C-alpha cells in the first residue's frame, strides 16, 4: 500500500506530493538523528560503561539477580554494556519503531538476544507480570533520556513512572544523579538574539515597538556550542551557582518546582543572560562524572570532550536590570515536565509563570534572525544599496518574511512601498513597527502570495523596484532562499520594463574543509580513530549499522570550527534580472586542494549581490586566513556535504576535486557529485 503526503517546497513555494510506502526506508531518518554523535562520544560511552559495571557489582554484592531496565535504548548499546558487565537480563525499551528494529537487529548480531529483550513501546506503556512485557521489576535503571536542557525529552515523568511501576524499591540508577549549574552574565552579543535595537536611517531612528521590549520572549531554550562563544563576548556578574540536583535512584517528581541560589554580585553591569549546563554522576560517590561544561572552563582544553547531542543552554531573563558589585541577589530556576526558565530577584521569587511571547516577534523570528536584524554592518550594506537605486518616484515591492527593508525604503524617500507578507503573524509584527514609528500609511502590507498579486492590489502602479533580503522562515539550506527568484518570476507581469531588482543576483560558493569535530556526526564508527579495540568499542561499531544520507544538510558553522583546504570557489550564479529558467542549470569544475589535512566534506553558502558593488555574504564573514581559518556568519545556516570517506590532502595543489552540481528549478534542489583525482 502506498500513501502520499503534501510537503511545502521551500524553494519553489509549491506543494510537493511525496510517496511513502509500507516499505519506507528509515535509514536516512536515523542517520540524520544524533545517534552517530552519541556513539562517537567516547567520554559518554566510557562513563556509562564504568557506571553500569559499578552498579552491577553493587547489586551482585547484595546477592541479588541483576535485572536491568534500559529506557530509550536507541541502538541497544547501553543494554549490551549491561549484559557484558554481568547483568542477568535486560529489558531495552525504545518507542521509535525504526530504531527499535535496528536495536533488535544489533542485539541479535552481537549474540545478546537470549539476555536482552527489545520492547517497542513508550516506557509508560510497559507492563510487568507473567503476561506483561517484563516478567519482573528491575533493580538497575539505565537511561539516556537527556537533552541539552536535561529534562526536555520528558525525563522526569519517565523516571517517575518507572519508579512507581517498573523498578524495585532501593534500586540502582545509571546515571545516579544530575546537577544543573547556572551563571548570570552581561552579554550584548547574546542579548541581541532576543531584543531589537533602534536603527538609524538617514536622520530617522527606527524604534522597536514597546511591546517587544516588555516581552519575556519565547520559552524554548537556546542551545548552542557555548565553547564557540568567546569569553570576551560576555561578562560574568556572579559565581557559577549550583541550582539543583536530581537523584535518579529514588522516586522522581515531575511536579513543577523552583530552586533558588543566593549569591553576591562580583561585577556591576546589566544582568541579561543566564548560561547553564549540567553534570551527570554515574555512581553514588560522584567519582564517575560526565560533564557538559564548556571548553573554556577546562584548565586543559585538550581534555574537553566534544559532543553535539548535549550542548549548553542560554536563557534570557524576562527583562534586563542593572546590578552593582556587592548586591545580594537570588537566581531562581523553575521547571515543569519539559523545560526550565530563570528569574532574578532581590529575594526568593515564588512566581512560577512560564515565559510567553506576547509581542509575536519571538514567534516569527528565530534567535539568529534577531541577531541578523541587529547586525548594523549588515544593515548598513542594505541601506547603501537602497540609497543607490531609490528615486523619489520609485514604487517598491518587498518580498521577504518579516523584513525591515520596506520600512527602510519608505524612510529613504520612495514614492510608494508595498510588502508581501505570506504569514499573518509576521504581517502583524511589521504593523507594530509601522505604528510605533508613526508611519502606518508609509508601507502597505499585502497578505497574499506573489502569484495572486494584481495591479489593483498595487493601486494600478507598476513596480519599479523589487527588493528582498532574501529571508524566508521556511528556508533551511542556502538555496531555499531562491524562493525570491520564483516570486520575481511570478511578478514579472507587474514589473516596469527595466525594473531594478535587489538583490540583482546570487552566487553559490563552495569550500572544501577539514572539520575539527563536526565530521563525527556522520562518520561510520569504524572510521573514528579515537576508539581502541575493546568489547565496548566493538559494540559501538556494530551500533551504527545503517546507511548515511548523501545530501547536503544545514548547520550553523560558526559553532563548528573548520579549516579551509581550498579557496572559496563560486560554482553557480543565479541572475534575478531574468526569470527562473525552465531547464536545470548545471555547473562542473575542478578545485585543487591547496591546504594540508583531511577533507571531510564541503561547505556551501550564498552571497547576494545587492547591486554591482554591494554584496552580502550568508557564509564567510571574513576572508579565509593563510592558515585556512574560517569565520562564519552566525545569522544563517550554511550547507554541509559530508564525504563518506575523508580525502587526504598534501596541500601541494596536485590533488584535485571535481564537482558536478545541478540546480533543478522545478524541485528547487541541487544535486551534487564530487570525486577526487590524485597524482
Positions marked catalytic: 144, 153
What CA–CA distance (Å, rounded) separates 106 from 80? 9
Whether the Cβ atoms of residue 348 and residue 330 lie closer than 8 Å to each other:
yes
What CA–CA distance (Å, rounded) separates 463 from 495? 5
Q: At what angle do helices 97-109 and 77-84 cross, to 10 degrees?
A: 30
Nearest to 397 by CA among 489, 495, 485, 505: 495
Measured in degrees and rounded to the nearest 5, phi and psi for residue 558 equal -65, -20
What CA–CA distance (Å, rounded) separates 140 from 56? 8
Whether the Cβ atoms of residue 134 and residue 128 lie closer than 8 Å to each other:
yes
Count Cα neighbours of 350 within 13 Å in the Cβ-side half-sphere: 0
The conformation of residue 457, written as its DSSP 8-state character, comes to: T
Kindly provide the residue ranges of all beta strands, DSSP E only, lying in 324-394, ordered along the sequence.
328-335, 340-345
Nearest to 329 by CA among 236, 261, 239: 261
Lookup result for grid cell 537511561? 143
Other Cβ atoms closer than 10 A to 111: 10
Burial string for 655-676 (b: 16+ CB within 10 Å, else e) reads bebebebebebeebbbebebeb
C-alpha distances in Å from residue 266, one per residue of 299, 328, 617: 22, 10, 40
Nearest to 455 by CA among 415, 485, 495: 495
Measured in degrees and rounded to the nearest 5, phi and psi for residue 134 equal -115, 135
Whether the Cβ atoms of residue 359 and residue 402 lie closer than 8 Å to each other:
no
Count Cα neighbours of 595 within 13 Å in the Cβ-side half-sphere: 24
Burial string for 307-336 (b: 16+ CB within 10 Å, else e) reads bbbbbbbbbbbbebeebeeebebbbbbbbb
What CA–CA distance (Å, rounded) separates 68 from 340? 30
Task: Return the H-helix or E-strand segment holding 66.
Answer: none
SS3 12: coil
Task: Return the H-helix or E-strand segment holding 6.
Answer: strand 2-8
Amino acid at each position: 500500500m502506498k500513501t502520499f503526503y503534501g510537503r511545502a517546497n521551500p524553494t519553489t513555494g509549491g506543494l510537493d506530493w511525496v510517496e511513502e510506502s509500507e516499505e519506507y526506508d528509515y535509514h536516512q531518518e536515523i542517520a540524520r538523528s544524533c545517534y552517530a554523535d552519541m556513539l562517537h562520544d567516547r567520554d559518554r560511552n566510557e562513563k556509562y560503561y564504568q557506571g553500569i559495571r559499578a552498579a552491577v557489582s553493587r547489586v551482585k554484592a547484595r546477592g541479588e539477580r541483576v535485572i536491568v531496565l534500559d529506557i530509550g535504548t536507541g541502538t541497544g548499546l547501553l543494554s549490551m554494556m549491561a549484559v557484558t558487565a554481568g547483568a542477568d537480563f535486560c529489558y531495552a525499551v525504545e518507542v521509535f519503531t525504526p530504531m527499535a528494529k535496528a536495536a533488535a537487529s544489533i542485539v541479535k548480531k552481537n549474540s545478546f538476544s537470549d539476555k536482552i529483550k527489545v520492547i517497542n513501546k513508550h516506557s509508560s506503556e510497559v507492563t510487568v507480570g507473567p503476561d506483561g512485557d517484563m516478567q519482573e521489576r528491575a533493580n538497575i535503571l539505565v537511561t539516556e533520556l537527556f537533552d541539552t536542557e536535561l529534562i526536555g525529552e520528558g525525563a522526569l515523568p519517565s523516571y517517575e513512572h518507572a519508579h512507581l511501576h517498573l523498578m524495585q524499591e532501593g534500586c540502582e540508577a545509571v546515571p545516579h544523579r544530575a546537577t544543573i549549574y547556572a551563571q548570570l552574565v552581561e552579554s550584548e552579543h547574546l542579548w541581541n538574539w532576543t531584543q531589537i535595537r533602534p536603527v538609524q536611517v538617514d536622520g530617522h531612528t527606527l524604534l522597536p515597538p514597546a511591546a517587544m521590549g516588555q516581552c519575556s520572549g519565547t520559552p524554548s531554550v537556546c542551545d548552542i556550542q557555548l565553547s564557540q562563544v568567546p569569553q570576551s563576548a560576555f561578562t560574568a556578574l556572579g559565581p557559577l551557582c549550583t541550582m539543583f540536583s536530581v537523584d535518579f535512584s529514588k522516586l522522581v517528581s515531575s511536579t513543577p518546582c523552583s530552586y533558588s541560589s543566593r549569591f553576591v554580585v562580583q561585577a556591576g553591569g546589566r544582568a541579561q543572560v543566564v548560561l547553564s549546563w549540567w553534570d551527570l554522576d554515574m555512581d553514588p560517590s560522584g567519582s564517575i562524572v560526565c560533564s557538559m561544561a564548556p571548553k573554556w572552563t577546562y584548565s586543559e582544553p585538550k581534555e574537553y570532550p566534544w559532543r553535539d547531542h548535549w550542548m549548553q543552554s542560554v536563557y534570557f531573563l524576562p527583562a534586563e536590570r542593572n546590578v552593582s558589585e556587592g548586591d545580594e541577589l537570588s537566581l531562581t530556576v523553575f521547571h515543569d515536565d519539559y523545560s526550565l526558565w530563570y528569574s532574578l530577584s532581590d529575594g526568593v521569587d515564588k512566581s512560577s509563570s512560564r515565559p510567553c511571547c506576547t509581542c509575536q516577534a519571538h514567534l516569527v523570528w528565530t534567535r539568529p534572525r534577531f541577531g541578523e536584524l541587529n547586525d548594523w554592518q549588515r544593515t548598513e550594506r542594505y541601506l547603501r544599496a537602497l540609497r543607490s537605486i531609490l528615486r523619489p518616484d520609485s514604487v517598491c515591492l518587498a518580498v521577504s518574511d518579516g523584513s525591515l527593508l520596506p520600512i527602510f525604503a519608505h524612510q529613504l524617500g520612495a514614492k510608494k512601498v508595498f510588502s508581501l507578507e505570506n504569514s499573518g503573524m509576521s504581517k502583524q509584527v511589521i504593523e507594530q513597527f509601522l505604528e510605533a514609528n508613526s508611519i502606518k500609511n508609509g508601507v502597505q502590507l499585502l497578505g497574499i502570495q506573489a502569484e495572486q498579486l494584481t495591479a489593483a492590489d498595487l493601486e494600478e502602479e507598476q513596480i519599479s523596484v523589487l527588493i528582498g533580503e532574501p529571508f524566508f522562515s521556511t528556508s533551511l539550506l542556502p538555496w531555499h532562499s531562491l524562493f525570491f527568484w520564483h516570486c520575481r518570476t511570478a511578478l514579472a507581469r507587474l514589473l516596469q520594463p527595466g525594473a531594478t531588482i535587489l538583490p540583482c543576483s546570487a552566487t553559490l560558493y563552495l569550500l572544501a574543509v577539514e572539520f575539527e569535530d563536526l565530521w563525527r556526526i556522520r562518520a561510520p564508527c569504524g572510521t573514528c580513530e579515537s576508539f581502541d579495540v575493546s568489547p565496548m568499542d566493538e559494540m559501538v561499531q556494530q551500533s551504527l549499522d545503517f546507511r548515511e544520507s548523501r545530501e547536503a544538510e544545514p548547520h550553523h558553522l560558526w559553532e563548528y570550527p573548520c579549516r579551509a583546504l581550498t579557496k572559496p570557489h563560486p560554482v553557480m550564479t543565479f541572475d534575478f534580472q531574468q526569470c527562473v529558467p525552465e531547464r536545470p542549470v548545471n555547473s562542473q569544475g575542478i578545485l585543487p586542494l591547496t591546504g594540508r589535512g583531511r577533507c571531510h566534506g564541503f561547505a556551501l553558502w550564498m552571497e547576494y549581490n545587492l547591486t554591482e558593488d554591494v554584496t552580502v555574504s550568508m557564509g564567510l564573514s571574513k576572508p579565509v586566513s593563510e592558515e585556512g581559518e574560517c569565520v562564519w556568519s552566525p545569522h544563517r545556516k550554511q550547507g554541509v556535504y559530508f564525504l563518506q570517506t575523508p580525502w587526504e590532502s598534501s596541500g601541494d595543489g596536485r590533488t584535485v576535486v571535481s564537482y558536478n552540481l545541478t540546480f533543478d528549478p522545478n524541485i528547487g534542489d541541487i544535486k551534487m557529485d564530487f570525486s577526487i583525482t590524485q597524482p
